[in-house]
Amino acid sequence: MSPFLTLLARDLRLAARSGGSAALALAFFALVATLVPLGIGADRKLLAQVAGGVLWVAAVLAALLSLDRLFQGDYEDGSLDVIALSPLPLELASLAKIMAHWLSTGLPLTLLSPVLAVMFNLPGEGTETLFISLLLGTPAVSAIGAIGASLTLSLKRGGLILPLIILPLLAPVVIFGAGAVAGVVDHLPNGGLGLLAGFAAASVLLSPFVAAASVRLNLAG
């Protein structure tokens, strides 16, 4: 099996083992989706209008939960040095980690979203758009998140500044994703999904290079 796939499989196994990050992200996602109506009231029309935004923010926060461990675990036990020295380029290794993170958080969140959409009274096509937007956008969350994770991998309490660093960078994802859903709900189609796809593609393509650079600088020190 190629070194890329080996690393991907290993990271997935680790994610499954350490408290099941997918389960945690899903639970968090569902909890936020439950708390918000408790906070703003059960007006079905209102909920349908805010659904895109609320669920997108919830998804981003849920994906954030497991990000700080993306490189940190391997850094602490020396595996990162091994990975860096292996024939697999660090950029591809980073991509493998990004994919593993998405498969264990972003994808499950996307799959759960239609259920939560029902709780928000989102009409059918709104749910469809939400699903597609999450499918396209959560890889970007993992990718940009990986940049933050690689910059903070040496910090014990790095998890605290990680959201501060990457949430501003994720603003376009939330804007385009939620905007696309709102457009469908209001019957005013906008190019949100297209913009989201473009941004996500760029993020996934470029962030492995940035993450690799960050890993190298941390290992060199």
Partner 1 sequence: MFRYANPAQFMRLSGAVLPWLAAATVLTLGVGLYWSFTVPPDYQQGSTVTILFIHVPADLVAMGAYAAIAVASFFSLVWRHPLADVAARTAAPLGALFTALGLITGSLWGKPMWGTYWVWDARLTSFLLLLFLYLGYSALWNAIDDEVRAARAAAILALVGAVNLPIIHFSVVWWNTLHQGESILSGKIAAVYLWPFFTMMLGYSLLFALLWIIRIRTEIVNRRARSLMQVGT
> Number of residues in contact with partner 1, rule: CB under 8 A?
30
Q: Is 61 in the site for partner 1 (CB under 8 A)?
A: no
Q: Which stretch binds partner 1 (CB under 8 A): 16-24, 80-88, 115-123, 183-191?
A: 183-191
Q: Is 217 in the site for partner 1 (CB under 8 A)?
A: yes
Q: Are 126 and 52 in contact (CB under 8 A)?
A: yes
Q: Is 172 in the site for partner 1 (CB under 8 A)?
A: yes
Measured in degrees and rounded to the nearest 5, phi and psi for residue 116 equal -70, -30
Question: What string marks each residue from 116 to 155 as x (binds partner 1 by CB under 8 A) or -?
Answer: -------------------------------x---xx-xx
Token pair 């759960």 is found at 112
**Smallest distance, Å, CB 210 to partner 1?**
6
Residue nearer to partner 1 on the CB measure, 30 or 213 = 213
H helical segments located in 77-191: 79-85, 90-101, 107-119, 124-151, 161-166, 171-185
Q: Is 171 in the site for partner 1 (CB under 8 A)?
A: yes
Q: Which of 56, 158, 181, 197 binds partner 1 (CB under 8 A)?
A: 158
Say how many C-beta atoms besides its own lie within 10 A of residue 177's C-beta. 35
Q: Is 213 in the site for partner 1 (CB under 8 A)?
A: yes
Going by C-beta distance under 8 Å and a sequence separation of 6 or more, which residues neighbour residue 25?
A: 62, 63, 65, 66, 104, 105, 108, 109
Q: How far is it, in rounded angstroms, from Cα 206 to Cα 150?
A: 14
Residue nearer to partner 1 on the CB measure, 22 or 170 = 170
Q: How far is it, in rounded angstroms, from Cα 219 to Cα 188?
A: 50
Q: How far is it, in rounded angstroms, from Cα 171 to Cα 120?
A: 22
- Give the footprint of partner 1 on this chain (CB under 8 A): 147, 151-152, 154-155, 157-158, 161, 164-165, 167-169, 171-172, 175-176, 179, 182-183, 188, 190, 195, 199, 210, 213-214, 217-218, 221
